[in-house]
Amino acid sequence: MNVDNVTGTAPRDTQALLGAEIRRRRRELGLTLVRLAEQAKISHPFLSQLERGLARPSMMTLARIAEALGTTQVELMLASDTRDREPEGTAERRVIRSHEGVQLPRGIARRGREEGSTRLLVHGRADFYPQEFVEVHTEFGPYFTHDEDEWVYVVAGAIMVDLGDHGNARLAEGDSLYYTGGTPHRWHVVDGPRARLIVVKAAAREPDSRGWDR
């Protein structure tokens, strides 16, 4: 299966809305540009460009920004969805076309190498968030850890998954893996230049009126 061509929301529109949402949340928390940049381990000038819609972060960078803002990558991506909305409840409102979906690079392209991509496959709030990953990294990066459960399915290619103390697992085409929230995880491509994945992440739990998780 060809995994070279993956499209999504127009980058400039996405960048502008994503930057505006980061700025809104930063100001809501009373953080300066410099302070947020320090917490997210990025440069102050880059964050300034990002908030003005002049730069686009990788998913790894967005993860650090989201953590510093007390939110998630998906929450920030939802705010950058530019799709023209159909009336609520219609069938078309629920469809994500192949050219739609907020898309961001997986990492930073260097020396002409591919950067991969992540595309959100749902519009608006949901009980879970499916994403399409085109993964090209051939070495492990840092671990990701979040409170929400997650499920990974390999559409094409193969990956090696590292779940920290839970060990490693190789996933080939047609294989899937589920892990609970709080499990450190990371993966890289094996036996080929890229892999295409469907990653489904549970929505963040919201406290009820008593302050308990629902």
* pLDDT tens, residue by residue, 10-48: 456 778 889 999 999 999 999 999 999 999 999 999 999
The three-class DSSP label of residue 76 is helix
Highest mean pLDDT among 114-118, 127-131, 209-213: 127-131
Which range, 54-58, 63-67, 79-83, 167-171, is most confident?
167-171
pTM for this model (two decimals): 0.76
pLDDT of 108 higher than 80: no
Can you give the length of the chain in residues? 214
DSSP state of 185: B
| pLDDT of 196 | 97
Average pLDDT of the segment spanning 81-91: 58
Say how far apart CA 34 and CA 159 lie, in whole Å. Answer: 37
Which H or E element spans position 18? Answer: helix 11-28
Domain extent listing, the chain: 11-78, 127-202
pLDDT on residue 11: 55
Q: What is the CA radius of gyration of the chain?
A: 17
pLDDT at 180 over 70: yes
Number of H helices, E strands in the chain: 5, 9
Which distant-in-sequence residues (6+ apart) come within 8 Å of 73 by Cβ?
Answer: 59, 62, 63, 66
Q: Does domain 11-78 have CATH number 3.40.50.2300?
A: no
Nearest to 50 by CA among 81, 31, 42, 32: 42
pLDDT confidence bin for 173, thresholds 50/70/90:
very high
Provide the 3-class DSSP secondary structure of residue 105.
strand
Amino acid at 67: E
CATH hierarchy code of domain 127-202:
2.60.120.10
Q: Which pLDDT band, with edges at 50, 70 and 90, does 208 fall under?
A: very low
Closest CA to 131 of 199, 202, 204: 199
Rounded Cα–Cα distance for residues 143 and 162 (Å): 9
Structure tokens belonging to residue 7: 């499209």
Average pLDDT, stretch 140-168? 95
